[in-house]
């Protein structure tokens, strides 16, 4: 993410990827995520994300991670902004590569 490399991001986001809000409603798919990231990277070259894995569980070809993210950017190009969120991510082993297939916003 921090390299703003869309091709690298595509390499671990499954085409079936969905992002869900805290109520479980799908708000993004793979294509929208990639489109939004292109806009973010072009509009905010200072964008940076730190990620902490709070817990993980692997069962067969499925892994579940709970992550805490801090995303940094500037608002109105002057004001520092940090957005903190927690996500539950589901990863699948697809053709010998781990790919994220779903993420759901979780309460902090």
Element (H or E) spanning 9, and its range?
A: helix 6-10
Considering the four listed CATH numbers 3.10.450.50, 3.40.50.300, 3.50.50.60, 1.10.8.350, the one that applies to the domain covering 6-106 is: 3.10.450.50
Integer Cα distance of 87 and 105 in angstroms: 5
Within 10 angstroms of residue 85's Cβ, the number of other Cβ atoms is 14
Integer Cα distance of 50 and 6 in angstroms: 17
Q: Which pLDDT value is given to residue 87?
A: 97
Output the tens digit of pLDDT for each of the chain's 108 residues. 889 999 999 999 999 999 999 999 999 999 999 999 999 999 889 999 999 999 999 999 999 999 999 999 987 767 888 899 999 999 999 999 999 999 999 998
pTM of the model: 0.89
Nearest CA among 31, 36, 33, 44 for reference residue 2 = 44
Q: Give the residue extent of every domain in the chain.
A: 6-106
């Amino acid at each position: 993410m921090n390299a703003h490399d869309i091709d690298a991001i595509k390499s671990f986001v499954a085409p079936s990827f969905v992002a869900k809000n805290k109520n479980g409603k799908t708000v993004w798919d793979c294509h929208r995520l990639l489109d939004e990231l292109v806009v973010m990277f072009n509009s905010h070259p200072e964008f940076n994300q730190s990620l902490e894995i709070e817990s993980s569980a692997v069962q067969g070809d499925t892994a579940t991670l709970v992550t805490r993210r801090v995303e940094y950017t500037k608002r109105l190009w002057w004001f520092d902004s940090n957005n903190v969120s927690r996500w539950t991510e589901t990863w699948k082993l697809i053709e010998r590569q781990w790919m994220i297939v779903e993420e759901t916003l979780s309460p902090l």
